[in-house]
Structure 1
Amino acid sequence: QQTVRRSFTLIGVGLHSGEWETVRVCPARAGEGRYFVRVRIPAAAALAQDNLRLSMRLAVDDDNGVITCEHLLSALEAIGVDNARIELEGSGEVPIVDGSAYQFAYECARVGLVPAHADGSTAEVPRMAWRPSEMITVRDGDAFVQFIPDAVTKLTYGVDFTYKSTAIGKQWESWTPTEDGDYVDLIARARTFGTMQDYMAYFRAGYIRGGLEQCALIANGDKFWNPPMILPNENARHKILDLVGDLSLMAEPGMAGVPIGHVLAYKGSHRLHAKFLAALAA
């Protein structure tokens, strides 16, 4: 198991709150896992909320929760930060930064990773991972998330926004960490995305109050309002980024959350991801 060598802090605007938010990632002991501190909120699937729209939200009760945590958790999971105390100042939202996980991944690399030890011990603690033996599928209309047993971890994601924007259109992307390259190079920089019409509707409804141009790739009809794309199939790669973050909630304290096997998703959402986590844990 690993943790960060020392703490790092990021300050930015919350996508939903529109307020300045601060997140501080601190070292933690082996077996503590990743957890948020306003009150202690474990990064666990059991706390994922049902009424998810644009972001993952974890809550222990109506007054104590954390929102927009998927990009940070994605970076921690993929880079191998198994144990971390994550302190939040502000409304309880993780800053959206540039809409990707790159800044979180960069900060982890900057401070470095070290083995996480248990109390009073210098022995290294093994990192375990899920390896389900049966196929699992959850659906919502034509959207689905499926687990297929395999010897390695592989994530595949398909998006289809043709009915909303041909600029996004249909995209498929697949990433096998042991074969294709590093998360930081292939996945972390992919930004969140959507259509101009959807973002304006969310803004008018009060779901988002933070910046748009700086933190999302916005499609308007057959072109992007703020091009260019940073990565090929950036939209599908961002869905893989989100999936890694949501799967990280399956981690037992100090363990990996993304299972060994093939996770295949099509037209998914945080709500469908949460339903898939519940099926995996059943």
Structure 2
Amino acid sequence: MDLSAELSEFLRSRRARLKPRDVGLPEFGRHRRVPGLRREELAQLAGVSVAYYTRLEQGHGQNVSLEVLDAIARALRLSDTERAHLTHLAKPTVKKRQRAAIGRPQQVRPGLVHLIDSMDAVPAVVMGRRLDVLAWNRMARALFGDFAAWEPHERNMARLVFLDPNARDLYVDWECKATEVVSVLRLYAGCYPDDQQLLALVGELSVKSEEFRSLWAAHTVTDKGHGTKRLRHPLVGEMTLAYETLKVSGSDPDLALVTYHAEPGTPSADSLRLLAQWGVDEPVEVRE
């Protein structure tokens, strides 16, 4: 992945979403030639010269200081996640051992497998790089589908959301879920631009999904943290579930445990308990 092009497009996309009134600048004229702020306006807000900012937006960020990046991030009203993404693009810090690890299959510790297996009423999955689903328990299988029936390379949340037609029925707010998935992948791409498997995944999804192409071009980034999801399950109907993403300690920083639960005493909790009765003898599954 070309980091210079990524840096250029990211800065342009963030600048385009701001209006002068958003940052306290006067807006002269009814028709502006560019969407959002002009380069001159952004440079003024960041306290740098127009020429300096123009070079940065053209992808020449090798010699930029962290102080200047922070000033530009403040001017662009970037979130903490967007600020980190900007830094990764301008000043990549991937080490040789990290590059070597990218191509190796990720492993889930047996202890972690036993942990999610013990969560009888909580859907849980272990996710790795590129939103790969590496392990899941019986409840996750009941909620999302039979991961074991898919080929290992197909066990990926981005593939599920964009290529499985059932996902549009499962996720009530499918557009929000799709945006989140693409934003997480984009954040990962900024950290690991040399990941050939990620490039192949993005290429495949871009060819097969017009929605993915459009969202990828928007350059939104987010980290998968916590929130709620509205799901419409074919057996138990609509549920509102909260999810939590927990980083897994150990030598692999890209493993995360994602759990789903319903607020006690709600219809969603009743539906989740009903779903827990499905396939009670099914064991936990781990990617081969």
Which structure has the highest helix share of the two? 2
Based on CA coordinates, which of the two structures has the bigger radius of gyration?
A: 2
TM-score between the two structures when normalised by the length of structure 1: 0.26
In proportion to residue count, which structure has more strand?
Answer: 1
Higher relative contact order (CA 8 A, sep 6+): 1
